[in-house]
Amino acid sequence: MTRTSAVVTVAVALALTLAACSTAGDGAGASPSTGATTSEPASEPTSEPASEPTASGTSDASPDPTTEPSEPSEPVETVTVDQVVTTGLAQPWGLAPLPEGGLVVTLRDEARLVVVGPDGSQTDVTGPGADTLADETVPGGEGGLLGVAVAPEPAGDGGTALVVYRTGQSDNAVLTGRLDGTELGELTTVVDGIPRARTHNGGQVGFGPDGHLYVSTGDAGDPSLAQDPDSLGGKILRVTLEGEPAPDNPVADSPVLSLGHRNVQGLGWDAGGVLYASEFGQNDLDELNRIEPGGNYGWPDVEGDGGTDDGFVDPVATWATDVASPSGLAVTPSGVWLAGLRGQRLWLVPFDGDDRATGEPRAYLEGELGRVRAVVAGGERGLWVLTNNTDGRGAPGPDDDRLLRLTY
């Protein structure tokens, strides 16, 4: 499916279905680690303050109310940099582990994919797919080559199914191709027609535990798109790798899983299959949301808590925009980790005894790494982290940007 044309044909049905859920950029600079609050399940995503717009998750399963309570996650006392894996990455954005070892990184402005080996070596991805990305990606502002994901199962003809999110001349699109080592084959379009702009392009992609592909999109600087059922902007999408709407989406033949998002850049699932999404706020509050299929997260009517009376879903945690600006996230047994751009730190929202990320947020490595773009779970009590000081809003050091291995 290109453009997911089914959105238009089900617009009326989507609007009716979501009526019960609604009644109507990447900052800079750090500040104190105050301003984090938590509440019960999720409200909507956001982006950085108006002075610094940013780019913009879904869930595949609703919480199971019959789940037996468990013990709260063990407190994390310290986080340390265990290894500087590689340096000198230019405007890195997306990060995904590869099944054979190593990680693949997207370079936003150069529209390149790089495979980082376990020894820290950097190898450019080549091949017809890489050529297409170089030709079709149009960097600018927060747009460019953004999220990347690797399918959990090998491609039918061997290799790995790789998915990327790129900004083009007229839209944002999700593409897939077969990665064999560092050779990327021809690309096919999964979803296109996603609104693009200099800011709020969304850009995250990920495979859920159900095997479907999840895509976060931004409002492209037009807040009204987030509530428009005819638009792919300001949504979390859930599709097959062939680009068809997932069969059990909230509205038949629609790719939309949730709406009312400003700019979601982080997606991750807990052990029970519940999806969490990080979202940039405008001027007031950034958010961590627990995504409910069909949920409306309120943007632009609500930022932060306070929308439940109008049918919106409240966030599970919020932060003042100067201490967070959350981009990528990772879910581990300890809770949900969020990468802070403007906040220049890692945040952890611990799990409570009901396996919900509603514990008191804690900040780590404040100001030590600069801007943090991506965080990925990396084995037992380990994290992979990308810094993002070369994106035009940070103060790069001589080794930036870096891929780091952290332990906690």
Residue 154 lies in a domain: yes
Question: Where does the pLDDT of residue 154 fall: very low under 50, low under 70, confident under 90, or very high at 90 and above?
Answer: confident
Mean pLDDT computed over every residue of the chain = 87
SS3 76: coil
Condensed to tens digits (0 to 9), the pLDDT of residues 25-76 reads 665 443 333 356 554 333 333 333 333 333 333 333 333 333 333 457 788 9
Domains in the chain: how many in total?
Answer: 1
Q: Please check whether residue 46 is in contact with residue 263, taking contact to mean a CB–CB distance below 8 angstroms.
A: yes
pLDDT digits (tens, 9 = 90+) for 50-59: 333 333 333 3
Res. 356 pLDDT band, cuts 50 70 90:
confident
Domain presence at residue 398: no
SS3 state of residue 156 = coil
Find, among 342, 283, 285, 332, the residue nearest to 36 by Cα: 285
Q: What is the mean pLDDT of residues 214-238?
A: 98
pLDDT at position 36, please? 64
Count the neighbouring beta carbons within 10 Å of the beta carbon of residue 363: 21
What is the per-residue pLDDT for 366? Answer: 98
Find where tokens 């479907």 sit: 212
Q: Is residue 373 part of a domain?
A: no
User: Region 100-129: what's the mean pLDDT?
Assistant: 98
* Residues of the domain holding 249: 6-77+88-319
Phi-psi domain of 49 (left: phi exceeds 0; alpha: psi -120 through 50; beta: other):
beta
Quick: pLDDT tens for 257-304.
Answer: 999 999 999 999 999 999 999 999 999 999 999 999 999 999 999 999
Its pTM stands at 0.86
Within-domain flag for 207:
yes
CA distances from 147 to 208, 221, 327 (A): 15, 19, 11
331 within a domain of the structure (yes/no)? no
Distance CA 392, CA 248 (A): 41
Say if CB 381 and CB 401 are below 8 A apart.
no
Q: What is the dihedral of CA 113, 116, 122, 124, to 10 degrees?
A: -30
Report the distance separating Cα 204 and Cα 219, nearest Å: 14
Query: For the segment 170-192, what is each residue's pLDDT rounded down to a tens digit?
Result: 999 999 999 999 999 999 999 99
Is 125 a domain residue? yes
Minimum mean pLDDT among 18-22, 253-257, 402-406: which range? 18-22
- Taking only the tens place, the pLDDT of each residue in 302-317 is 999 988 999 999 999 9
Amino acid at 24: A
* Residue 347 included in any domain: no
pLDDT band at 97 (very low <50, low <70, confident <90, very high): very high
**Looking at residue 95, which CATH number applies to its domain?**
2.120.10.30
Residue 27's pLDDT is 57
% of the chain residues with pLDDT over 90 = 77
**Residue 192 in domain:** yes
What is the reported pLDDT for 175?
99
